Amino acid sequence: MTDDLPSHESGSTISKAFRTLPLFDDPFLQIQAMNLEVVDAFLMEQEAGLLDEYIAEERTPLETATFVSALSQMWMFGLYELLRTWRQRARDVRRWAKEFRETPPAEEEARLAAQRREVEERSVGPDGSGDLYWPPYETAARDPKLAETLRRAVAKTERLFRRIEALRMSLAKHEMPGIKGSFAMAPGYARIDLASGSLYWQVVLSGDEIDIVSRRGIADDCRGLVASDTASILPEAIQEKLRQFPDFSYGVKRIAVALDDGTTYKGVYVAWVTDVLAVEGQRGVPFDPSRVVDASADPIPKAKGA
């Protein structure tokens, strides 16, 4: 069955792509990913039919569009929850790994035993069900590389998750992202992509910024996770420093950086304090982000008389 499901150019399906992420050996996370994959395949058929009807009738076929819109929203909600759950679990394991590294050697075994009991107490089910969730904590304690692998994996999903998060705020809460009590623009109203039949939404982010989010585009981004890398990810210490800087636009900061060899760059745009998007005046990113050792805010100077 899965061989017939939609694949990205990399040859990956949604569930295969998610299984490349650490902690996705959990069978219940895999079931959620498979559910998304199955519904995605069904939706692609429905989207193609919607487009055919739209072209044939030269107007929006309301019954079909309503069905595709409803299912598309539910699919987005399911994807959001899967990513949110995985990211939270990754953060929990990383937090534990940090705490364990600060534990005196003489207390390590007792600390491990206490953490295992705590994980088992959080596991609802028959005796031994906690064994499913304990291994990552033990591995993180024994192998510091897992914590770094988790950090980079979460970072490479950051932009994807934040787009879905902003859309969910509009669809589910009818609010603009990050503005409690605000009213989103036409929440739930979608348009038909004339290239694929997939629905897309316009999400007002802040000020006059608008993101156009396509369900098909998000699905393709999920499939593309298998081929994406973490080369643009900044060191964790630099990420923490960036949190204090003002935003240049929604989720984006404009900074200046210094590398370990003393080289500096201004006009560096970073998304969600994690990865470098572009450098002003440069084609591509002319440096290795992992070599950044310092950063400062770099606002665009105001024009004289402004």
184 within some domain:
yes
Q: What is the pLDDT of residue 227?
A: 77
132 within some domain:
no
pLDDT along the chain (306 residues), means of 10: 51 90 95 97 97 96 97 98 97 94 93 92 74 91 91 94 96 91 91 96 89 97 87 94 95 97 97 95 94 95 60
pTM score: 0.90
97 with 241, same domain: the answer is: no
Q: What is the pLDDT of residue 129?
A: 65
Look at the chain and report how many structural domains it folds into.
Answer: 2
Q: How far is CA 230 from CA 20, 105, 107, 179, in A?
A: 13, 33, 35, 30
264 with 212, same domain: the answer is: no
255 with 195, same domain: the answer is: no
CA pair distance 26, 28, nearest whole angstrom = 6
93 with 48, same domain: the answer is: yes
Q: What is the pLDDT of residue 26?
A: 94
9 within some domain:
yes
- Name the domain boundary from 197, 226, 255: 226
Q: What is the pLDDT of residue 2?
A: 44
How many other CB atoms sit within 10 Å of the CB of residue 290? Answer: 14
265 within some domain:
yes
CA pair distance 34, 248, nearest whole angstrom = 38
Q: Quick check: 251 and 162 in contact, CB under 8 A? A: yes
Q: What is the pLDDT of residue 206?
A: 78
Q: What is the pLDDT of residue 3?
A: 47
Q: What is the pLDDT of residue 6?
A: 62
243 with 171, same domain: the answer is: no
260 within some domain:
yes
269 with 169, same domain: the answer is: no
135 within some domain:
no
User: CA nearest 278: which of 304, 294, 259, 257?
Assistant: 257
Q: What is the pLDDT of residue 63?
A: 97
- Name the domain boundary from 194, 226, 258: 226
168 within some domain:
yes
Q: What is the pLDDT of residue 207?
A: 75
151 within some domain:
no
Pairing mode, strands 199-204 and 191-192: antiparallel
What are the backbone angles phi and psi of residue 245, rounded to the nearest 5°?
Answer: -85, 150
247 with 269, same domain: the answer is: yes
172 with 246, same domain: the answer is: no
Q: What is the dihedral of CA 218, 224, 229, 235, to 10 degrees?
A: 10
291 with 161, same domain: the answer is: no
- Name the domain boundary from 205, 226, 247: 226
Question: Residue 271 sits in which domain range?
Answer: 236-297
Residue type, 19: R
209 with 289, same domain: the answer is: no
174 with 264, same domain: the answer is: no
168 with 82, same domain: the answer is: yes
Q: What is the pLDDT of residue 4?
A: 53
